[in-house]
Chain A
């Protein structure tokens, strides 16, 4: 007994001294780059990039990733520290307002010169404060294998004969509802993958889906050319298209793989897994979602069958509507960091988006379609959703919907809307309360 005890003690002491050594030596990143990453799904890739960058340039890049839906919280506690992030990101004009005091002017940087369309940057007066680094698209992702199987059914009740014919809500609804009737034949649990409403996992609805009705509302505001600007200047929304939002939301939750009462425990990953395993035919998500589909073990979906469809709500003229394309990811450089740190940070970003090696990482491993002119056509990601995005953007007479949710008043607005949608799905509040709540919180959060 005594022997084992002294053995344990000795081991303990050894680990302790090893860690004390580490505790004393690891605090030397004062002059380095500190990147606070927003995308949890890219966390591992960024760590790899940082390692590689260190090998090549000898500059340490510390990558910290905020857990899903905690970016603002993490940024807030980190930025006030002594070794604050040198690269962080803002999510658009509203984010810029919150973090103004920390955003350095980037107008004379190489990174800004890379930007193909300078209008995309976040600017105020002469200054440039946020540079977008990825262009993304979202819509309804569908598995063509399953829809083809449906179109081959003899006893189907619809007149729709291919996905190309689906160009408005009514057609989509008829198709989806009949697919639900045949879900056994199709081998699926439901047409749509779970409408994930777990807190922090509901952004596909309270942000992305909400973008569409409000885009149409702001586009009708004749005072402004740009719907985002119109949104920023609106204190009272009417939520005119609330019932159209309800159309598609009902379709999602009534034809889902999951009972409505269970949606509150589902995450985005759950629904992507359902899609990947062939249990669902459709899922609303964006270009970033392909890696999630491909990474699922036992994945049954072939890459060539992963397709995009615009999200139709039943609004007049939506036959010409395309995918929702835009960005909410803008790099900002911390103004309060030392001059060397700011320079080192820019060097890193310019390496990542300008050098051959960096660009390879961006297009192949991060899977970003970037707004930078340093990328040639060959250097775009070749995953199916990226290709689908290009296909939709090249269609004639089809107009993409911009991401106007960067004009949503606050994170809190989205959270409250998410709770109301969850309440509606679970039956604890009505749709009228969702509508009234959205209007109320828009005003109180503005």
Chain B
């Protein structure tokens, strides 16, 4: 059977592999190589060693600023999204009338694209701030807050759906038994419910964390990094380094490599930590 299948690899496997090779693998390794060179088009690359990596940190503080902004954003939005989503999931797994309608409503923003979301919230936040004589660009904190609100609005419904699926698998008998033993609701939540939905928590943390770090469209549409690049997240910072000026492509690619490493390390670390928790239970 194995051999039979292998004979058909040109149809079964090759198309995907070819596409993957051309749009991901080759560009990925080419990207690593180019981060050690100076170039404007791929063909004129000159090897410069670690110079680009040094420039990322020494040239100006923009990368570190973006990094700090992104980390703060990720921590706050990951926490708030997951707490809200989990709470909503708890409510919506109760026997409440019309819960499917609420579920439909809360999930809806997730289908709207990042660019469109950005402009929707720009309108609303500016409309509110205008009453106090500000706009979203008056102060980087407004942009930060705006991004957090936007991200919450977009992702809560999605995460809620995942938590609901997880909560439906919580063993009912165990909860009933605990109640009979006189355990408080909080105790049941922390000792039975949360351990049982640990797989959902793993996936939700993974999705929110990676999405928060990679955020681009929403950032571009809401503030585009203004004022003075102070609300520029990592992905946008890299984009601006590449296309914003001539001669910084190598630095941009070096930033991209650092960014990829960072996201990979954080994602794997989070998966490792929460998975370990899953097995402990």
Contact = CB atoms under 8 A, between A and B. Distances in A.
Interface of A: 72-73, 76-77, 80, 98, 197-200, 259, 261-262, 264-265, 410-412, 419-420, 422-423, 426, 428
B243 A265 contact: no
Nearest to A200: B224
A264 B40 contact: no
B139 A199 contact: no
Given A199-B225, A199-B227, A264 B246 contact: no
B227 A426 contact: yes
B143 to A, nearest CB: 11
29 contacts: A73-B243, A76-B243, A80-B41, A197-B137, A198-B137, A199-B227, A259-B133, A261-B133, A261-B134, A261-B135, A262-B130, A262-B133, A262-B135, A262-B138, A264-B137, A264-B138, A264-B226, A265-B136, A410-B245, A411-B245, A412-B245, A419-B229, A420-B228, A422-B227, A423-B227, A423-B228, A426-B138, A426-B139, A428-B139
A419 B228 contact: yes
Contacts of B133: 259, 261-262
A321 to B, nearest CB: 31
B126 interface: yes
Given A76-B243, A412-B244, 5 more contacts: A197-B137, A198-B226, A199-B137, A265-B136, A412-B245
Contacts of B135: 261-262, 264-265
Interface of B: 40-41, 126, 130, 133-139, 224-229, 243-246
A262 B126 CA distance: 10
Contacts of B225: 199
Nearest to A426: B138
A286 B203 CA distance: 56
B134 to A, nearest CB: 5
Given A80-B40, A426-B138, A199 B245 contact: no
Contacts of B134: 261-262
Contacts of B245: 72, 410-412
Nearest to B59: A444
A102 B160 CA distance: 54
Contacts of B40: 76, 80
Contacts of B138: 261-262, 264-265, 426
Given A265-B135, A265-B136, A72 B246 contact: yes
A175 to B, nearest CB: 27
Nearest to B223: A199
A422 B135 CA distance: 13
A419 B243 contact: no
A198 B122 CA distance: 13
Contacts of B126: 265
Contacts of A423: 227-228
A199 B137 CA distance: 9
Nearest to A412: B245
Given A80-B40, A198-B137, A426-B138, A264 B227 contact: yes
A98 B246 contact: yes
A269 to B, nearest CB: 16
A199 B143 CA distance: 14
The 8 A-B residue pairs whose C-beta atoms are closest, nearest first, are A265-B135, A419-B228, A264-B137, A73-B243, A199-B226, A80-B41, A259-B133, A261-B138
A419 B130 contact: no
Contacts of A73: 243-244
Nearest to B44: A101
A1 B111 CA distance: 24
A261 B137 CA distance: 9
A200 B226 CA distance: 10
A262 B135 CA distance: 6
Contacts of B243: 73, 76-77
